Amino acid sequence: MGPGGIATIIAALSLLAIAIALAYTVIRVGRFIDEARVSLKVLTEDTAPLIIESTRTLELINSPLESFAKITKNVEEVTTKVTETATDLMDKGGPAVKVAGALITAAQAGKARSKKKKAE
């Protein structure tokens, strides 16, 4: 066997070592991917009920909040109506001013009568 034959054997052994290393790497990566898939499946199975429970909890919390929002809206409407009514009553020439004027006039007339009676 000459130097060419020895070089061929060395090259063949080097290629065999490279092929074995690649095969080992491919097998390890395949196992890693299988483990990752199993872990992801377990994680999904464990997380899905938790997400469903969280969603239900939020729905239960939001229900009273929606009711509270309706109550707040109704209170706001009543407040607006009361403010408008009070403003209408207190306008110049409004009914409240007319009633107050009539009461003041009646009170002054009553005082004037009582002063006349005392004077006599």
pLDDT at 101: 81
Domain span at residue 43 reads: 3-119
pLDDT at 64: 87
Number of domains comprising the chain: 1
110 neighbors 117 (Cβ within 8 angstroms): no
How deeply is 83 buried, as exposed, middle or buried, from its count of CB atoms within 10 A (0-12, 13-18, 19+)?
A: exposed
pLDDT tens digit string along 15-32? Answer: 999 999 999 999 999 999
pTM: 0.42
Six-digit token string for 60: 């239960």
55 neighbors 61 (Cβ within 8 angstroms): no
Q: For tokens 């009461």, name the residue.
A: 103
Q: Count of alpha carbons within 13 Å of 22, Cβ hemisphere only?
A: 6
pLDDT tens digit string along 32-64? Answer: 999 999 999 999 888 888 899 999 999 888 888
